[in-house]
């Protein structure tokens, strides 16, 4: 069964492609939509589900690992602030500043994603299958609650794909 780390890494793959075209460069709506997905789905699933579960394990280096996770987690605030500022500039007609910061936004985001793939996600498979399954189920509920259409628009992951991955079996994905 596919697991939550894999789902999040698939989302990172979509973000890497989007970053190459500076997604949202020509449309404020597209950037708002992407940022909403990022904050309310992707980051929410990491902070509320994956990070607490992966830290709460008897690692030999638990203290160091917890610090690593907290450091990487702090990037989320930086990325959010950057996006909030860009949205503010674009809405007030300061297109130049918006365009100027766009590459920095995607660079910060994709570097952050790679550090998760390098320093956090590889440990996921060491956890008990039951814990991973429960986490995937909880992540799916967040994704469903916040709206599957926006999620699919920004990740390219179809509801059929999600239904296939769903540990709750058919029915949980509307
Ligand atoms: Fe993240
Ligand atoms: Fe991530």
Contacts of 13 (CB under 8 A, 6+ apart): none
Alpha helix positions (H), 24-94: 28-37, 44-45, 51-55, 62-91
**CA 93 – ligand 2 centroid, Å:** 30
Domain boundaries, the chain: 4-165
- pTM, 2 dp: 0.94
**CA 77 – ligand 1 centroid, Å:** 10
Tell me which residues have their CB within 5 A of the ion that is ligand 2: 113, 116
Tell me if 135 sits within 8 A of 30, measured CB to CB. Answer: no
Consecutive 10-residue averages of pLDDT for the chain (174 residues): 90 95 87 97 98 97 98 98 97 95 97 98 96 95 96 96 80 70
Tell me if 166 sits within 8 A of 1, measured CB to CB. Answer: no
**CA 28 – ligand 2 centroid, Å:** 23
């Amino acid at each position: 069964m596919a697991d939550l780390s894999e789902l999040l890494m698939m989302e990172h793959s979509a973000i890497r492609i989007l970053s190459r075209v500076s997604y949202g460069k020509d449309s404020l709506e597209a950037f708002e939509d992407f940022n909403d997905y990022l904050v309310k789905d992707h980051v929410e699933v990491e902070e509320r589900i994956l990070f607490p579960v992966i830290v709460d394990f008897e690692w030999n280096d638990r203290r160091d690992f917890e610090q690593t996770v907290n450091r990487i987690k702090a990037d989320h605030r930086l990325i959010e602030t950057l996006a909030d500022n860009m949205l503010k500039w674009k809405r007030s007609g300061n297109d130049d500043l918006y365009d100027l910061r766009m590459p920095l936004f995607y660079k910060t985001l994709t570097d952050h994603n790679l550090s998760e793939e390098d320093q956090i996600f590889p440990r996921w498979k060491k956890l008990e299958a039951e814990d991973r399954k429960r986490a995937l189920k909880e992540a799916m509920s967040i994704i469903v609650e916040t709206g599957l259409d926006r999620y699919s628009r920004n990740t390219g992951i179809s509801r059929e794909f999600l239904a296939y991955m769903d540990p709750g079996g058919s029915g949980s994905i509307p």
